Amino acid sequence: MKIALLGMGTVGTGVYEIINEEKGNYFANAQEKVNIKKVLVRDKTKKRKLDVSEDLLTDSFDEILEDQEIEAVIFAMGGMEPEYSYMKDAMRNKKHVITANKAVVSEYLDTLLKLAEENNVMFLFEASVGGGIPIITSLKETLKINRIDEIKGILNGTSNFILSKMSSEGRDFDDVLKEAQELGFAEADPSADVDGFDVSRKLAILSSLAFGCHIKDEDIYKRGIREVSKSDMEMFDNLGYVLKYLAHSKMDDGKYCATVEPVLLSSKNIMSNVNEEFNIVSIHGNIIGELQFYGKGAGKNATANAVVGDLLYIINNSERRDDIILDKTVENKKLDIFQGKYYLRVDIKNHEEFKKIIDMIDETSRVKKMMVEKSQIFVVTEELRAYTVNDLAQRIADMGNELFYARIVQ
């Protein structure tokens, strides 16, 4: 099979290496069947780490599109446009599409799946969620027999690195973020990682497949990790909890909630030991119960492995099938389905504020534990609905008090 590769960044290079350099195992046997005929790059003259023959390089997507021999196109580019248009053009020209691009997949999944069906080609996107973890394939397989009603995941390495470091070294958010930026683990603008946009797209893709309807980034409630402090981390340690940035969606009787927010896990929870660049995804099926999948969530080789896995699927399956259909009618209940005990920390300046805050908390919830230290109140509440806590937090924030809160998931 002749294919084209779009992009020669980290993932593109990894894909090229696995296919052409026999780093792999059984894939070497399929060598004769896979031939990268064209590589699309922005600048053909750019010096590259990898020695790619000049004949392969092109800066014209049309050249790939019009090449009848090319049966599949691998998208190893991260933007929204022209990637989305290119994907549609490729499928209209009867080429299979494989992509690692979570932005396009989460936003246009429904359209792209339909286009694949209309043109009798495959649209595969294993690498768009969880790097090397075979979560899309596993989710599809589980769905053949199960209804899935819950997804939980740690799906962002940068935020996980920051929280792990803050916890193990007793440091503040800004301090660790700065280090992560210097080490190249975090972007100059860290918003995608620490405010939930990256995770949200991944959760959107997983939830869409699991619940059978197109759930987008905009349907997901997001809360960042910027407010967590060193003193919170100390308190979590004392209470036996670990703070993780969790993607969580749940379906109940045709209604769902999907959130990305910091939550507290018991230190006995498997997910509490997932650190640094590793990701984990938990899915719950009505027959199989809970399944969890753990692996490297990013990086050249792991992500490229997922891309090449999709390519092998196309090579080995001449006919399309396992079609995903996003035709269910579901209602987004925002935060309404989630509830739990909550941890809440409020900074106070004087006794008057202390009394006022305590009164506000008392009106909302029975308090299970309370600690007061220096100028901070720490509270663990009884079971509360998520929207109740959000409302309380908003009212406290409106008074000018700094605070942090997190649902306790166990």
Residues that are catalytic: 202
* Annotated binding-site residue? 77: no
Burial of 97 (0-12, 13-18, 19+ CB in 10 A): buried
141 near a second copy (CB under 8 A): yes
CA-angle at 282, arms to 276 and 286, nearest 5°: 175
Residue in 264, 308, 335, 396 binding a second copy, rule: CB under 8 A:
308
Q: Could you say which of 44, 134, 237, 360 contacts a second copy (CB under 8 A)?
A: 134
The answer to whether 6 is a known ligand-binding residue is yes
In whole angstroms, the minimum distance from the beta carbon of 370 to a second copy comes to: 28
322 binds a second copy (CB under 8 A): yes
With contact defined as beta carbons under 8 Å apart, do 195 and 371 qualify?
A: no
Name the token pair of 227: 């407010």
303 labelled as ligand-binding? Answer: no
Of 67, 171, 293, 333, the one binding a second copy (CB under 8 A) is: 293
Q: Which residues contact 189 (CB under 8 A, 6 or more apart)?
A: none
Residues in 231-270 at the binding interface with a second copy, rule: CB under 8 A? 268-270
Sole window of 92-100, 105-113, 133-141, 372-380 interacting with a second copy (rule: CB under 8 A): 133-141
Q: Which CB sits closer to a second copy, 14 or 262?
A: 14
Query: In 3D, which of 295, 298, 209 has the Cα closest to residue 258?
Result: 209
The beta-strand segments (E) located in 253-402 are 255-266, 278-285, 289-296, 331-332, 339-347, 367-373, 376-381, 384-385
In contact, 331 and 392? CB cutoff 8 Å: no
Q: Is 7 annotated as a binding residue?
A: yes
- 146 to 205, contacts with a second copy by CB under 8 A? 146-148
Q: Which is nearer to a second copy, 191 or 267 (CB)?
A: 267
Indicate which single residue of 295, 345, 346, 409 sits in contact with a second copy (rule: CB under 8 A).
295
Residue 390 to residue 210: CA distance in whole angstroms: 27
Reading the block at residue 404, the tokens are: 């942090």
Q: Which is nearer to a second copy, 132 or 340 (CB)?
A: 132
CA-to-CA distance for 232 and 225, rounded, in angstroms? 12
Least Å distance between CB 213 and a second copy?
Answer: 14
Which of 10, 93, 138, 390 is in the footprint of a second copy by CB under 8 A?
138
The correct pick among 50, 145, 370, 371 for binding a second copy (CB under 8 A) is 145
Q: What's the token pair of residue 5? A: 């590769």
Reduced to 3 states (helix: H, G, I; strand: E, B; else coil), residue 153 is strand
> Could you tell me if 297 and 277 are in contact, meaning their C-beta atoms sit under 8 angstroms apart?
yes
Q: Is 272 in the site for a second copy (CB under 8 A)?
A: yes
Nearest-CA neighbor of 202 among 126, 111, 278, 269? 126
Applying the rule CB under 8 A, the residues between 11 and 30 that interact with a second copy are: 18, 23-27
Q: According to CB under 8 A, which one of 42, 46, 47, 144 is a site residue for a second copy?
A: 144
Do 281 and 136 touch, CB atoms closer than 8 A? no
Which C-beta is closer to a second copy: that of 264 or that of 384?
A: 264
Minimum distance from CB of 87 to a second copy (Å)? Answer: 24
With contacts defined by CB under 8 A, name the span among 70-78, 177-185, 189-197, 297-305 that binds a second copy: 297-305
Q: At closest approach, how far in Å is the CB of 132 from a second copy?
A: 4
Question: Could you give the residue ranges of the DSSP H alpha helices within 38-182?
Answer: 61-65, 83-92, 102-118, 135-143, 157-169, 173-182
Residue whose C-alpha is closest to residue 278's, from 115, 94, 132: 132
Q: What is the DSSP letter of 404?
A: E
Is there a binding annotation on residue 38? no
Q: Note whether 137 binds a second copy by CB under 8 A.
A: yes
Which positions touch a second copy (CB under 8 A)?
Answer: 18, 23-27, 132-134, 137-138, 141-148, 268-270, 272-274, 285-296, 299, 301-302, 304-305, 308-309, 312, 316, 321-322
- Binding residues for L-homoserine, as ranges, are 187
- Binding residues, as ranges, are 6-13, 102, 187
